[in-house]
Structure formats: structure tokens, C-alpha cells
Amino acid sequence: MEPNETVASAPALDAKPKSTALEMRGISKTFGSVRALTNVSLTAYAGEIHALMGENGAGKSTLMKILSGAYHADPGGEIRIDGKPLQIGSPQAGRRSGIAVIYQELALAPNLTVAENMFLGEEMRRGGMIDRAAMNAAARPFLERLSAPFSPSAKVISLSIAERQLVEIARALAGHPHILVMDEPTTCLSAREADKLFAIIRQLRSEGIAIIYISHRMGEVYELSDRVSVLRDGGMVGTLMRAELNAPTLVRMMVGRDESSFYKKEHRPPEEGHRKTVFEVRDMADVSRVHGCSFVVREGEVLGIAGLVGSGRTELARLIYGADPKTRGQVFIEGQEKHISNPRDAIDAGIVYLTEDRKVLGLFLDMSISGNLNINVIGEDSLTGGVLNLAAARRRAAAAIQKLGVRAPNAEINVGSLSGGNQQKVLLSRLLESKPKVLILDEPTRGVDVGAKSEIYRIIDDLARGGAAVVVISSELPEVIGVSDRVVVMRDGHLVGEVEAHAGAPITQEAVMALATDLAAAHAA
């Protein structure tokens, strides 16, 4: 940023008399020899919700990190806040200039209180001691503004994810921002929680804050945004007005190709009772989160498990997989009971589980692609005395990279340097290497870009066609409906119903949603 020249702010893209809150012009960023951003410009008005879309790796986060001061842009670009050139140095300077960023991964200290988190780094003191009462009092109006159902002195660890997000927003508001950046804020929220968040975002808009909203989800972009800007490969593709929004255009702008087959699966109705049951779970329960869940998956079938966040879907999956202790419940594969008390038992029985949190629970980020792929099978591949079979590992890695289309120069690079979609494919490949009969995929496309999503859907479809029983857990209704032949719905630790696709009558979001919320008790099967 070279703030020497002081030109009047550039003409707005449309003739609205809104004031320009943010203007970024000619922003470029290189990391070493890699160009992450090329000459990107972005304008946001006060009181607008401006969605920023683009595939993973398109440069959204880099652009926002430059805005927040976490990264320094290459010389030549310019950032103006309310017409004034921004002297960016650090995130603290950015915050003082009225920029607040809420990252995808919430950055709260769980063992501190809400108020302490809100004023972290700017604690109020009295006589050198921290003044908790003053901080609580200062925090209260912001929490009230957000209708937060918890007190400033509550410990963050006791709050739900959605509530923690409110803390983040309150913390951002405490800096009286002109510009609020939200990076995929609904990733971990249920539909109902997301609706509440949208109401808050609209309220902030009406208060004159410019909101930059990063999201992969088409639905919420439609619902919320006044304008949508799309980044692709580090360049700004264009900005659409609300009236110009439509899904094909957006997808085309993001991926640079027409993606008309997106989200569609050819539903194959079960052939009149001929298909045998491959996988059965009976009366699975733990002490608190899962209360006696039973379901079957037939050969070649994709079963979706829908439900709100917190309904116990992941907990159920982990019980089946032996990752958490169960109080009761049986698992049958092809009619045979399998005794599973730890993940090793599950893998040996032919059950694999794709975790919803690939970085924390799935991948070994310091290990190579090959190491990550092979970790489940190095034991059975090994030579005498547990010596690694390097040839087999190379063969498997090469085959898997090709089969699943992992975009990486070779199998030896660290998995941590891959994009989200490619990481997910590596994790999926790991599961496939052990030739499972049952796959439980928990949020298989979370944090994955549009292109990789449709590839993962294709993989799921192929697996089912290959005869595996596939269970897909997803918070995105269109996704779970799109990939599944049958959807069971979970609510408060119970399986409360089932919706099946029939020829000419696909599963509707409404049917699933009705079951997932307690409105639907009457429909419970």
C-alpha cells in the first residue's frame, strides 16, 4: 500500500447515493514466486451486504487478510476506508481503522468469560488490576443488541458454537467497525441458528455497517446479499447486483465453466426388496447424546442422515465406529454381528468413518500425501517384521491420486499444503484403501470448493454402485438430499423418521426439515 496519492474516491459501480465504506484498488499479493492475488479491486458501501464468492484458493481469504492487516499487499495497491487511505501495519491497526474480521475458525479463549474475550488485549484496568465489573458492564449493551441469551460473565466453554459466534460478533462490534468481514459464518450452524444470524447481519446492515460476507453456500448468498463479487484464481471476475443474481451465472463465474450437473444424482429406486441389507445398526446409544438409534443400509444404497447441528449425528457415527464408548447397541454387516469397541475393530470389520473435522481429527498435516493415504493399510502391506513396503505404498498412492483426481505434483508433498478439496480427497482415498463394506461420511464436502464437491458426489455415487453401503451425514439439506437414496432424520439423539426417494417423487427439503424440527412429530415414521 502506497498511500501517498490522495485521489477522490472512484465512482461507484452504480448510481446509488450510498457512501463508500471500503475501496480496495489494484491489490496484488505474491508469496515467494506464487501470485495469490492479481490487481484485485473491491468496493463496499456503508449499509450493504456484499458477498464474496469463489472456489477455495481463489484468493478470498488472502484478500481479507490483507484488509485486516494480517498480510501486507505488494506495493502498488491502495485501500481506503471512508475515503481515507489506510495505513495498514497490523491487525490492531486495522481494528482501529474500523475493520473487524470474524474468521471461519472462531478465535476465542474457551476458559475465559464472554466479556474477557470481547476485550481480549484491551482489558479494562483499575489500579493495575483487571476490572471485571467494568468489562461486564461494557459488554452488556453489545450482547443485548444481538439478543444474546447469555451473560457477559458466562464462560465461553459453556456456550454452543452459535453462541460463541455471537461472542465473536459482539467482540467485533465493540471496536465500532465500519466494515465487518465474516468468513463462512454458517459453516457450523444449524439452519435455525443460521436464520437468526442472518437477522443479526441484516440488523447490522441497517445500522450502516458494510458487511463483506464470504460464503460457498448459494442459498444464503441469495438470501442476504445486495451485491456479489466473485474471485477466481486470484483475480476479480466481476460483481453482480442483486437483480442479476442467478445460480448458473454465479457458478460459471466461480469455476469458469458451466456446471449444470451440479447437485444432481440419478435416483435408482430399490428393486422391490431384492437388495439385501448390508449394514444394520440396532439400538445404538450412549449416556447422553444418542438414544437408541436403529437403521439399515441396503446394498448399493446411499443413506443420508439429516438433522440439525447438535442432534447427535456425529455422536451416532462415532459410536458405530467405536471411537466413543457406547452403552448398548449392535452392528451387523451382511447379517453377522460385529463387536466393535475401538476404531481398529471397526476397520477390521469393514467400516470406515470420514470425520467432519479433517484437519483436527483426520489428516496428519506434517505427513506426505502418500503417508496419509497408506496409514490404514501399511500394516497389511508390510513385509516380514513390519518393514514398510515402499513399492506398495507408492503404487497405492499413484493409483489413488489418479482415481480420485487429487491435484498435487507428487505423492510426497505434505498434505497440509493442499487445498481443502484435495485434502478431503486424500482422506477419502485413505478410507477406500482398506476396501470397506460400509462408509460413514460425516460432512464430506465441508470447506470444499464447488468443483471438488461435485467430484466427491461422483465418488460417493461410484462407491454405492460398487456395492458398498454408504452413510452420508450432512448439514446441507440440498446435499444430503442430492446424494442419498433415502434419508433418515435425527433429532435430539433419536432417529425420528425416514424419507425415501421414489420414481418421480424426489425427497424434498421441506419433508426433511419438517422431521428435523419438532414441528413434524406427526410425520414421524
Partner 1 sequence: MSEVAGDPIAGKSRETVTHAQRMRAMFQYAGMLPVLILLCIGFAIENGRFASLTNISIVLQQAAINTVLAAGMTFVILTAGIDLSVGSILAASAMGALLVSKIHGLGMLGIVAGLAVGLGFGLINGLLIALVRLPPFIVTLGSLTAVRGMARLMGSDTTIFNANLPFAFIGNGTLFGVSWLVIIALIVVVLSWFILRRTVLGTRIYAVGGNPDAARLTGIKVGVILIFVYATSGFLAGLGGVMSAARLYAANGLQLGQSYELDAIAAVILGGTSFTGGIGSIWGTLIGALIIAILTNGLVLSGVSDIWQFIVKGLVIIGAVTLDRYRLDHNGRT
- Residue ranges in contact with partner 1 by CB under 8 A: 31-34, 36, 56-57, 59-62, 65, 103-105, 183, 233-234, 321, 323, 342-344, 346-348, 353, 355, 360-367, 371, 375-376, 378-379, 382, 385-388, 390, 407-410, 412-414, 416-420, 422, 430, 447
Minimum CB–partner distance for residue 339 and partner 1 (Å): 15
The strand pairing partners of 104, in sequence order, are: none
Round to whole Å and give the CA distance between 525 and 523: 6
Instruction: For partner 1, give the closer residue by CB, 71 or 198.
Output: 71
Instruction: For partner 1, give the closer residue by CB, 123 or 324.
Output: 324
- Cell numbers of 394, please? 507408492
Instruction: For partner 1, give the closer residue by CB, 48 or 286.
Output: 286
Minimum CB–partner distance for residue 412 and partner 1 (Å): 7
**Strands laid side by side in the 235-241 sheet:** 99-102, 179-183, 210-214, 49-53, 227-232, 235-241
- Cell numbers of 502, please? 421414489
State which H helix or E strand residue 79 sits in: strand 78-81
Instruction: For partner 1, give the closer residue by CB, 347 or 496.
Output: 347
Instruction: For partner 1, give the closer residue by CB, 374 or 474.
Output: 374
Instruction: For partner 1, give the closer residue by CB, 108 or 135.
Output: 108
- Cell numbers of 255, please? 469455476
Minimum CB–partner distance for residue 348 and partner 1 (Å): 8
Instruction: For partner 1, give the closer residue by CB, 345 or 492.
Output: 345
Minimum CB–partner distance for residue 374 and partner 1 (Å): 8
Minimum CB–partner distance for residue 32 and partner 1 (Å): 6
- Which residues contact residue 97 at a Cβ distance below 8 angstroms, ignoring those fewer than 6 apart? 81, 86, 87, 88
Q: Long-range contacts of range 493-497, CB-CB < 8 Å, 24 or more positions apart?
A: 493/288, 493/289, 493/290, 493/291, 493/293, 493/311, 493/312, 493/315, 494/291, 494/292, 494/293, 494/312, 495/293, 495/294, 495/295, 496/520, 496/521, 496/524, 497/523, 497/524, 497/525
Minimum CB–partner distance for residue 421 and partner 1 (Å): 9
Minimum CB–partner distance for residue 501 and partner 1 (Å): 31
Instruction: For partner 1, give the closer residue by CB, 139 or 439.
Output: 439
Round to whole Å and give the CA distance between 382 and 213: 49
Minimum CB–partner distance for residue 370 and partner 1 (Å): 10
The strand pairing partners of 281, in sequence order, are: 295, 331
DSSP for 252-310?
HHHHSS--TTTT--------TT-SPEEEEEEEEE-SSS---EEEEEETT-EEEEEE-TT
Minimum CB–partner distance for residue 422 and partner 1 (Å): 7
Residues 340 and 325: beta-carbon distance below 8 Å? no
Give me the phi and psi of 444, to 5 degrees please. -65, -15
Instruction: For partner 1, give the closer residue by CB, 124 or 323.
Output: 323
Instruction: For partner 1, give the closer residue by CB, 189 or 369.
Output: 369
Minimum CB–partner distance for residue 363 and partner 1 (Å): 6
Q: Residue 25 class from Cβ within 10 Å (0-12 exposed, 13-18 middle, 19+ buried)?
A: middle
| E-state strands within 178-253 | 179-183, 210-214, 227-232, 235-241
Look at residue 122 and give its three-state secondary structure: coil
Minimum CB–partner distance for residue 15 and partner 1 (Å): 34
Instruction: For partner 1, give the closer residue by CB, 267 or 430.
Output: 430
